[in-house]
Chains A and B, each alone.
Chain A
Amino acid sequence: MKKLFPFLILVFLFNVTQALAGGTVKGLVTDKKTGEPLTGATVTLENENTHRKISLSVGLDGSFIFKNVAAGKYEIEVRYISYHKAEEHFTVNDYATVNLKLSLNAKANDLNEVSVKSRSSRESEQSAKTAEQRAPQLINAVSARTIEVSPDITIANVTQRVSGVSVERSNNGEAQYAIIRGMPQRYQYTLVNGVKIPSPDNKNRYVPLDIFPADIVDRLEVSKSLIPSMEGDAIGGGINLVLKDAPEDFTVRANIGTGYAANLFNEDFSKFSRSGVANVSPRVANGNNYTATMANFPNSPFHYSKVNAPLATIGGVTVGGRTADKKLGALVGFSYQNTYRRTNSTFFSTSVSQVTSEPQVTDIQSRVYDIQQQRIGLISKFDYRINPAHKLTLDADFINLNQNTFRFRSDTSLDLGRTGIGTGRVTQQYRSDRMIQKVYNFNLHGDHRVSDLFAMNWSAVYSKATANEPDRAELNLTTGRNRQGDGSVVQAPTLFDVNNAQNRTFAKNTDEDKSGFLNLIFSPKLFDTPVELSAGGMYRDKDRHSDYDQYAIRPAANNTSQPFTGNIDNNTFEVFSVQGTPSDPLNYDFSEKIASGYGQFKFTAGRLFAIGGVRYEHTDQSWVSSAPVNVEGKTGSIKYYDILPSVSLKYTLATNQYLRASYYSAISRPNFYELIPHTTGDPDADYAERGNPFLKRTSAENFDLRYEFFPKGLDQLLVGVFYKSIKNPVEYALIKLTGQSDLAFQPFNFGNANNYGFEFDVTKYFKNFGFRANYTYTDSKITTSKVQNYRDANGLLTNRSVDQTRPLQGQSKHIGNLSFLYKAPKPGVDAQVSLVYTGPRINTVSPFLDNDVWQKGFVTLDVSAEKRIVKGLYGYVKATNLLNTPFELEIRRPYPSTGVVVEKQVVGENTFVRRDSYRQYLIAGLRYKL
């Protein structure tokens, strides 16, 4: 960093010191109200005699400069979208410099300070920074403009550019969930326009962030502290997607592009047929007494076709504007992405030595995933300004993600049939999985200013999220290379797994939320200080319904040893579990009613700004599952309430320097899936999963202290510390089930944990260059009991419990981001290079002492660039994962010398567990703005 700085300055100087003759006109363009620079505003300099015009765009720091301007009288005009233009007249003399300060007025007439904070184009970066600076709580914001020029196409990818945020990736290497300050997804919520969105994902309460195309948002806000008017179940913080607002002027934006995965270079992408496949399970369609036959399970998921190196389609169009009287505004955005990716993976199944608890590997697997994702986002926003004091807004959004995943897995046993390299049992699995996730969201919102003292707003929200996985079809084959008695190695024929030749699973769940919000704001003067007192409440009625069926299919009984030749149509099968799994607990209905109320005060007294108050949340959950009566937790109800105080103080140390302190109390409710006493569910889990109806909610007291310095323009320096005292965190542990020899993964509350850390965020802009850097140090500790295998005094193998202290699952000690930005207004070039470092973190908690599986620390490098082609039309390229950073897992314990000799395992080095390679992904396209 230190070395780079002078270099940057040099480049910068080189760029600007080229003046020759004539005069110089330079200046700064800012928002009149906020004083923020208006990057991208157009400045036109017109000679009043010759009427010659020169135009340029304002730089990143809000500055502009015209050099070699012939002496004379000039008019300068500044225009910026959603702002009133500004003009100034002046005279230029040779060898003299004119310094101008131009401030623009936003067009919007603010109705209400509370609800309509920034009516201007919020997508711009400065408004994001303003949001950051002005927000009562600690937030980090990313603007639509920043997202546009960033390498990211989904919201999940964007979040990792925010300080203190790292991401958890899905199988295709795309970010899916955010981890805020080491607190994984269960500890945070996802909001759309401030309202919670239910999750189509069976295992999580809140929406996976990769479902949202990045171009539908106006701004992404990550709140790291809560205020009383916010819902209280975000210990880690909240992620709010602020969708675009209707603009003041008619606006059209469109972009079209294509993408390409380096892993598919010259490779065939596998697609599978869905012909004849039912949308729901045979049981759900025909009732619990139905007995399925092979007619219910067509062979089509195992019919494949190949496409050579398919290209992605990425497109979007947004149209918005207002009626002539400016009363009715509308904005409709449509986004479509169809991407193809491949992941190559090497994975070792592990176990531990019964004698020493050292890690052992039992299987080596290679996996290929071919993943097609089709995302559709349709967002619309309508607002009607009845009069300056009253406004109605309607959001209607629909988001759809279809994912087709083909997976081929070949697993060579290092144990069964293994007599050395190149031998052993081989099991192969073809899996065809289609998942359809949909989110609908309707939000009717009203803002009313009743008098100077009194205002109110309300929302009525209906949202629905569904996920349907109809017929996840697996074909299980077995073969092997076996050493014969005479030492030769013979390839065994490829046969079916007799118990599970095919597995066909149907999973479907629906979440429906109906919520109402009401906030009352009273703004009197107390002790000569204007104070804002607000009170409000929220009620949400959530219903979740889940269906789950699994069918095991065997090779026909009269020919259990039939070979598989590659064409499944030549084989015969019969359904073994003909009824599906009607009494699997994953067939359940869950209802959750949350009622909450809060009181909040806010005032500024001299240099001190304070906001605080208390929130009350009452939770009433109940469920009924189809489990039989002898399963504990078949039905359940849980009720509790929480009183959650919070206070945030901001103290102005000097102009543009603030000290913030905040305290808030928050909770995290267990996921519905976790409370249901299920025993099946996740096909990718290494161990069977199990629900725990006795899970308690997690609560935490959170403290933050942050110093903020905004030297000029968009530059900023944020330094902070945080501490969280967490009670009853939920972590997964492996347990032995009564009656089963296998271990199962079950969530439990684990006493208390502490999480503290340090954050640092710096942004600095020059005229054409800028950089952003942030770093977060997090340290969390939790103590859980682990199993240690050993040989006792009598020579018998046994085990004991030992306590082990470790970080929370998913928490990296070090997270860093570094971005360089380059902006050349004249050729219309924007470019960005982003580096993210995520330190090592625990991926899976092992039940055995010193056997946790860690994800290795990694660096990713992404670049993006945009260039204006003609007015309003831009070309862009984005390239992600340039360093070909893999996802790597390891057990941080030396591979024992007694272990199986196999590739990738080196005696004395950490035990290798998994490596997924995604390689680079490239996107190129055109963007149009009017």
Chain B
Amino acid sequence: MKIFRTFIILAACASALSACHKAELTEISKQVVQAGNIISSDTLKGTVKGTLLSGKTYYFKEDVTVNDGDTLLMQPGSKLIAIGDGKTWQTSPEIVMHGTFISLGTKENPNYITIKNSDAVHAEATQGTYTNVFTGYWGGIVCYPGPATASNPNPAGGDVIIKWTHLEFAGGPAGPNDAAVYAQGDPRYLVIFNNIKKNFILEDSWIFGSKDDAVRVTGGKINVMRNTFEFCGQAGGEFFNMKSGTVGNIGYNLLIGAATNALKASDAGSSGTQTNVAMYNNTIINCGFRQTKTGRGGSINYEKAARGQIYNNLILNCRFGLRLTSDADLTNIAYNNQLYYGSTSGIVSQFTAADGVATFKANDIKSSTPGDNDPKFYGYNMTQYDYAANPGPITAAKQTPAAVMVGTSNFRLQTGSPAIGKGRNDFSPVNSVTSTGNYGATITQPGKDLGAYQTDGTGNQH
């Protein structure tokens, strides 16, 4: 009887018991978005939008943000000066670009995004003193989608269109504000672009003195044409570094004195869009000698599932020639018609990097002995630097100005150059970017001569 009663009590208790897990009442801080202010003075600060006017110089000494949907436009002949010392993130400001950035320099009126004492640093460098070249005075332009908001739950970032613009001297340690791109303390690049659905157009511009990589694209539609890249990467870093989701063209660029590769394409990052880049008619000189790590390239690299086309490039006195790693999408990489030049046997032996799987193709031209098949530039002595004594890795201080900067050199082809008329021009570049008007890309089709300068005057206009 007693037991029976107990069971009734128990059953009653049990039915009264039902677990309840109340939903969390949460208050998680959102990313703060400040409204953009129209630019009204020559000092930019906080969140801005609007136009930098022709002939004017603007300054910023703290981070400047452009919101998603807003635009910052530089008219021809405008200057943007970063005030910083490269020591801390507070004293090496950056431009945080969630919106659209347009710098419309022209041949006659180029734009400048540089530092106050840029002339002095250039002058020093020309004399062979590189103390300040890699100071990384400012933090570069950091392009990535802004925080999601109620009205824009899936921001995609904006386009970046840079024409006839000098971009120089960035690289100081990252601060905390771009957790999505840089961890605090990371070295920064002149431009990092991370808007996979948007366009990155860099044309006819001059890139100089970045502490690490000059430009890195971690997803985006690109057209990088007719630019001059000089002396970037103190002891590591590429001129143009591409990760998963980068699709487009890199053509007619003059690239001199990168720490590592001039151009590197990789599909690392699993964006779901395969990196696919056509690299053609580029002139690549003296790259790869400052990288201290072995197993890196020194001119053009295709790694980890990247695909594309590689034609008509001059690869001259680079520590390594074309390097295709075995994990690249080899079946979909087409390459031929390169000219490889080496002034030493060490360079000659690495025309197809020994740790890669690239081979010589039928239409390739190369120095079979050191000094053989000189491209015959108008103003450049290919044997002036002693690579036999300095095979790399070397410190920047050991490189001569002529080895890492254009200066008074002239990389146009003389009559009788073996590069003339050897180009393949019957293939199509990757047409990923809109190519109309001021805000579109101007794609120069593959040329018949190798390298960035065509004997008919087309190609690189610098």
A contact residues vs B (CB 8 Å cutoff): 291, 354-355, 360, 413, 415-419, 423-427, 478-480, 482-486, 492, 495-499, 527-529, 550-552, 554-555, 557-561, 576-584, 601, 603, 605-608, 610, 612-614, 626-647, 649, 665, 667, 677, 679-680, 688, 693-694, 696-697, 699, 701, 727, 736-743, 787, 789, 795-799
Choose from A360, A485, A606, A699 the contact partner of B349 (Cβ within 8 Å): A485
Q: Could you tell me the distance between the alpha carbons of A643 and B18 in the complex, rounded to whole angstroms?
A: 8
Residues of B within 8 A of A425 (CB): 293-295
Q: Are B395 and A558 in contact (CB under 8 A)?
A: yes
User: B397 to chain A: closest CB distance in Å?
Assistant: 6
Task: Specify the main secondary structure of chain B where it touches its partner.
Answer: loop
User: B134 to chain A: closest CB distance in Å?
Assistant: 7
Number of A-B pairs whose CB atoms are under 8 Å? 285
Q: Are A693 and B28 in contact (CB under 8 A)?
A: yes
Contacts known (A550-B185, A606-B3); A638 close to B26, Cβ less than 8 A = yes
Q: Are B329 and A797 in contact (CB under 8 A)?
A: yes
16 A-B pairs with CB atoms under 8 Å apart are A354-B327, A355-B329, A417-B355, A478-B293, A485-B348, A527-B2, A527-B5, A528-B2, A552-B173, A560-B235, A576-B173, A582-B176, A601-B13, A630-B177, A741-B218, A797-B267
Choose from B2, B6, B235, B355 the contact partner of A482 (Cβ within 8 Å): B355
User: A677 to chain B: closest CB distance in Å?
Assistant: 8
Residues of A within 8 A of B183 (CB): 581, 679-680, 688
Contacts known (A416-B355, A638-B25); A478 close to B292, Cβ less than 8 A = yes
Residues of B within 8 A of A579 (CB): 88-89, 173, 185
Q: Are A629 and B293 in contact (CB under 8 A)?
A: no
Shortest Cβ distance from A556 into B: residue: B395
Tell me whether B268 is interfacial, beta carbon within 8 Å.
yes
Shortest Cβ distance from A694 into B: residue: B28
User: A831 to chain B: closest CB distance in Å?
Assistant: 47
Q: Could you tell me the distance between the alpha carbons of A727 and B348 in the complex, rounded to whole angstroms?
A: 64
Contacts known (A484-B354, A694-B28); A478 close to B269, Cβ less than 8 A = no
For the complex of A and B, list the 3 residue pairs with the smallest distance between their C-beta atoms, beginning with the closest. Answer: A485-B349, A417-B295, A416-B295
Q: Could you tell me the distance between the alpha carbons of A727 and B394 in the complex, rounded to whole angstroms?
A: 58
Contacts known (A576-B185, A694-B26); A291 close to B88, Cβ less than 8 A = yes
Contacts known (A627-B179, A638-B24); A485 close to B346, Cβ less than 8 A = yes
Residues of A within 8 A of B30 (CB): 632
Choose from B19, B290, B294, B326 the contact partner of A492 (Cβ within 8 Å): B294
Q: Are A418 and B295 in contact (CB under 8 A)?
A: yes
Shortest Cβ distance from A848 into B: residue: B270
Tell me whether B243 is interfacial, beta carbon within 8 Å.
yes
Tell me whether B350 is interfacial, beta carbon within 8 Å.
yes
Q: Are B28 and A636 in contact (CB under 8 A)?
A: yes
User: B191 to chain A: closest CB distance in Å?
Assistant: 13
Choose from A480, A640, A649, A679 the contact partner of B295 (Cβ within 8 Å): A480
Tell me whether B128 is interfacial, beta carbon within 8 Å.
no
Q: A581-B184, A629-B29, A797-B329 are in contact. List 8 more A-B contacts (CB 8 A).
A: A482-B294, A560-B395, A576-B173, A640-B21, A640-B24, A642-B19, A701-B19, A789-B270
Q: Are B3 and A640 in contact (CB under 8 A)?
A: no
Tell me whether B110 is interfacial, beta carbon within 8 Å.
no
Contacts known (A416-B294, A738-B180); A644 close to B325, Cβ less than 8 A = no
Q: Could you tell me the distance between the alpha carbons of A541 and B177 in the complex, rounded to whole angstroms?
A: 32
Residues of A within 8 A of B32 (CB): 629-630
User: B34 to chain A: closest CB distance in Å?
Assistant: 9
Residues of A within 8 A of B14 (CB): 612, 647
Q: Are B22 and A629 in contact (CB under 8 A)?
A: no
Q: Are A645 and B19 in contact (CB under 8 A)?
A: yes
Residues of A within 8 A of B185 (CB): 550-552, 576-577, 579-581
Q: Could you tell me the distance between the alpha carbons of A914 and B296 in the complex, rounded to whole angstroms?
A: 26
Choose from B13, B29, B131, B294 the contact partner of A635 (Cβ within 8 Å): B29
Residues of A within 8 A of B409 (CB): none
Shortest Cβ distance from B136 into A: residue: A576
Tell me whether B271 is interfacial, beta carbon within 8 Å.
yes
Choose from B88, B269, B274, B296 the contact partner of A741 (Cβ within 8 Å): B269
Q: Are A578 and B87 in contact (CB under 8 A)?
A: yes
Residues of A within 8 A of B355 (CB): 416-419, 423-424, 482-483
Near A by CB (< 8 A), chain B positions 223-243 give 234-236, 243
Residues of A within 8 A of B180 (CB): 737-740
User: A417 to chain B: closest CB distance in Å?
Assistant: 3
User: A652 to chain B: closest CB distance in Å?
Assistant: 12
Near A by CB (< 8 A), chain B positions 313-345 give 325-327, 329, 332, 345
Choose from B21, B134, B181, B276 the contact partner of A557 (Cβ within 8 Å): B134
User: B323 to chain A: closest CB distance in Å?
Assistant: 10
Shortest Cβ distance from B144 into A: residue: A739
